[in-house]
Amino acid sequence: MKNFGLDIWSNKNFIIEDGQLKLNYKSMPSLLEIVEEIRADDVRGPILLRFPHLIKRQITSLYSYFDKAMKENLYEGSFNAVFPLKVNQFPHAVEAVTSQGKDFNYGLEAGSKAELILAMSKTPYGANITVNGFKDKEMITLGFIAAQSGHNITITIEGIGELETIIEVAQECNLKVPNIGIRVRLHSAGSGIWAKSGGMDAKFGLTSTEIIETIRLLREQDLLQHLRMVHFHIGSQMSDIAPLKRALREAGNIYAELKRMGASALDSINIGGGLAVEYDQHTQSKARNYSIEEFSNSVVFALKEIMNAKNVKHPDIFTESGRFIVASHAVLITPVLELFTHDYQEHLLDFKEVNPPLIEELIDLNKLLNNKNCTEYLHDALDHMESILTLFDLGYIDLQDRSNAEILVHNIIKKALYLNPTDELDQLHVRLQERYLINASIFQSLPDYWGLDQNFPVMPLHHLNSTPIRAASLWDITCDSDGEIGFKPDRPLYLHDVNLDEEEYFLGFFNVGAYQETLGMNHNLFTHPSEYTVHINDTSYEIKNAIESKNILDILESIGYSKSEILNNLKSDLLKSDFITEQEKDDTLAKLETFLEQNGYLRTTN
Ligand SMILES: *Cc1c(COP(=O)(O)O)cnc(C)c1O
């Protein structure tokens, strides 16, 4: 596990070179040098790095595979993509998508009023906007305003009620009518933990009867020429391609039927999102059983077959891939603040003139341990430790003896693991795992780990030419016991043994660019990490769009407290206190104000 599964999850976006983890692009900076440059400005706490070139890479790959599939299949429709804002609405993520997707006319998808407003203000002219989710009259009116303002917008109806509202708005105002799409309720469901979006009991979509009724209503209202799109979405992180193929056959046939029923303006099929991302660090390709190539081929081939059989013009294909486009672009970097067994250092040993015999034996075991005897000596040491603890409980040895024994045994274990990292010691690894305290909140930065047990690849930025041997569990700084990524013997994480008094140690969490930021919560009032966009060029790189994590007063204000009231309370309490001089009060006040202007993460040396 020396390369931390880089070959499995990183898609060659990162490589290890000279013991450093580097971006595999242009000037190839190391993550560590970027982090050090940011921290040189006194930034503390977790850091989120965005790499727009990784979004470009995903967009380009999506387009080129569809392009290839369309050419090979003599497909006559076009390929179009929109980015679903719910996956990451943060300004610099959206900006990266729209700027990197510019050459492809990349559009945006909105699922709520606020997202729609965002899409209306950020979608370049000519690019598509699609609108999904439940809508009221206001939201539908917004769709009309967007169309009137020149946007290429398609409102997908999720039920007959929404169609009736569209008809109402069209009758009440003179604004341009947006394109209308219908979300179909498929009987074929998706796979994976997010599969609830498909199937007959799905939350969204029209049944066949409702589709027929929709056509009747549109025709009656003279709006049928606005029906442009058939839409489905079978759920996120699709692990298996088979349900997609079934969904395509179903939706494709619905499309062809509608054309035959006279929906002559209908010209596109929107296949939603669902393209999966590899989060696994251990076994090759567990997340999905298909490649992007197979995915695009399947879509194009299925639609071509159906349309050719029914003699219908090939529809334009729309995709709303979110996770696939942005997951890889963001990396979370967390400083390690502490290793919990760090205190077991040999220089803290303090022997007596005469030590208890068991301690003398531990001293010998520690001294004489080698790769031939290490397993045996380790067992002896563990056995002695049990006895020493019993003797301590019975009052026969004192705290100093116990401390010496703990340090010695700890060192024996460490040496034995170095000398003989075999399977036999695996069980021991689990028992002797090191706990690494990270300056971050799992609730804020990896909420899907907390809520869905979703793994994210994690690896250190240092020592990458030496094999890590410490079984690691990661603790965050929230005071919630769920804020922990435990050691899992079936997916073990090993990290390095570092002395944080002498060096820094940073961990990178990868593929965190989709959903994590928007779902992240301010548990314990830890807010979004400080974030930076890194543009890499041929000779170096540029750090832009710095947004430091919210300061303490702003965090409190954001949930409704008055900054000035808090500040005044703190000041007046301090000023009326006794026993320190006015000067000391002033100095303390100045200190307090500095604290309040810093972010809420820890500021020990790391
Ligand atoms: C969430 C969602 C998407 C994005 O799905 P990903 O799995 O992130 O690609 C696309 N379309 C719709 C309608 C969605 O609800």
**Closest ligand 1 atom to 325 CA:** 9
Q: Decide if 8 is inside a domain.
A: no
**Would you state the pLDDT for residue 200?**
59
Are residues 183 and 113 located together in one domain of the fold? yes
**Would you state the pLDDT for residue 605?**
58
**Would you state the pLDDT for residue 193?**
52
Are residues 214 and 84 located together in one domain of the fold? yes
Range of the domain at 293: 52-328
What CATH number has the domain bearing residue 183?
A: 3.20.20.10
- Residues making up the chain, counted from first to last: 606
Helix axes 160-172, 208-220, angle to 10 degrees: 10
Q: Decide if 606 is inside a domain.
A: no
Ligand 1: centre distance to CA 343 (Å): 48
Are residues 169 and 281 located together in one domain of the fold? yes
Are residues 192 and 259 located together in one domain of the fold? yes
What residue's CA is closest to ligand 1, atom 10?
A: 273
With a 6 A CB cut-off, is 233 part of the ligand 1 pocket? yes
**Closest ligand 1 atom to 183 CA:** 13
Are residues 382 and 297 located together in one domain of the fold? no
With a 6 A CB cut-off, is 322 part of the ligand 1 pocket? yes
Domain end call among 380, 412, 430? 430
pTM beyond 0.85, yes or no: yes
Backbone angles phi, psi at 531, to 5 degrees: -125, 150
Q: Decide if 585 is inside a domain.
A: yes
CA 556 to chain centre: 26
Are residues 323 and 367 located together in one domain of the fold? no
Q: Decide if 483 is inside a domain.
A: no
Ligand 1: centre distance to CA 7 (Å): 27
Are residues 64 and 212 located together in one domain of the fold? yes
Q: Decide if 590 is inside a domain.
A: yes
Q: Decide if 442 is inside a domain.
A: no
Domain end call among 374, 395, 430? 430
* Three-state SS letters, 531-567: EEEEEECCCCEEEEEEECCCEHHHHHHHCCCCHHHHH
Summarize pLDDT for 270-281 with one digit per residue, the tens. 999 999 999 999
Q: Which segments of 372-485 are extended strands (E)?
A: 434-438, 458-460, 470-475, 484-485
Are residues 81 and 218 located together in one domain of the fold? yes
Q: Which residues of the chain are modeled with pLDDT < 70?
A: 1, 189-203, 284-285, 342-343, 421-431, 605-606
CA 231 to chain centre: 26
Q: Decide if 446 is inside a domain.
A: no
What CATH number has the domain bearing residue 377?
A: 1.20.58.930
Domain end call among 430, 453, 473? 430
Summarize pLDDT for 535-547 with one digit per residue, the tens. 999 999 999 999 9
For the chain, the domain total comes to 3
Are residues 402 and 304 located together in one domain of the fold? no
Are residues 323 and 368 located together in one domain of the fold? no
Q: Decide if 489 is inside a domain.
A: no
With a 6 A CB cut-off, is 457 part of the ligand 1 pocket? no
